């Protein structure tokens, strides 16, 4: 299993450009998450999904959009890039059965994004 994969690893954007960060998992996990990590800060949740077709906002959703058309993929879209979105972005996934028992999250390698 590849686990959680993310592309690209690095990207530089100009202000106002848009891009999509890709995330895929091959573990058949129902939950998927997008976090951002700013220097000296912990990870903060941007968006999450509990299954295909279902997404919801996290702590810091402004400026981002997501979709979840398949179990495997959870892309994150930046429509109008701003310098405040310079960060490292991590995708994660986990499996939670109907009983609601929570399991650990598995993280991807991250995408380092710079907006100039």
Partner 1 sequence: AQSVSQHNHHVILSEAASLELGCNYSYGGTVNLFWYVQYPGQHLQLLLKYFSGDPLVKGIKGFEAEFIKSKFSFNLRKPSVQWSDTAEYFCAVNARTGANNLFFGTGTRLTVIP
Residues near partner 1 (CB under 8 A): 31, 33, 35, 40-45, 48, 50, 56, 58, 90, 94, 96, 100, 102, 104-105, 107-110
- Between 78 and 91, CB nearer to partner 1: 91
Instruction: Tell me the closest approach of the beta carbon of residue 92 to partner 1, in angstroms.
Output: 8
Instruction: Tell me the closest approach of the beta carbon of residue 64 to partner 1, in angstroms.
Output: 15
Instruction: Tell me the closest approach of the beta carbon of residue 107 to partner 1, in angstroms.
Output: 4
Pick from 89, 108, 100: nearest CA to 26: 108
- Between 64 and 90, CB nearer to partner 1: 90
Measured CA to CA, the distance from residue 16 to residue 68 in angstroms comes to 24
């Amino acid at each position: 299993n590849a686990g959680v994969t993310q592309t690209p690893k690095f990207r530089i954007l100009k202000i106002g450009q848009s891009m999509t960060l890709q995330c895929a998992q091959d573990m058949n996990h129902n939950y998927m998450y997008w976090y951002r990590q700013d220097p000296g800060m912990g990870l903060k949740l941007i968006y999450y999904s509990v299954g295909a077709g279902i997404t919801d906002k996290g702590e810091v959703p402004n400026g981002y959009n997501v979709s979840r058309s398949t179990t495997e993929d959870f892309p994150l879209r930046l429509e109008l890039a701003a310098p405040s979105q310079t960060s490292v972005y991590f995708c994660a996934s986990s499996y939670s059965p109907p009983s609601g028992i929570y399991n650990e999250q598995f993280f991807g390698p991250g995408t380092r994004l710079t907006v100039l």
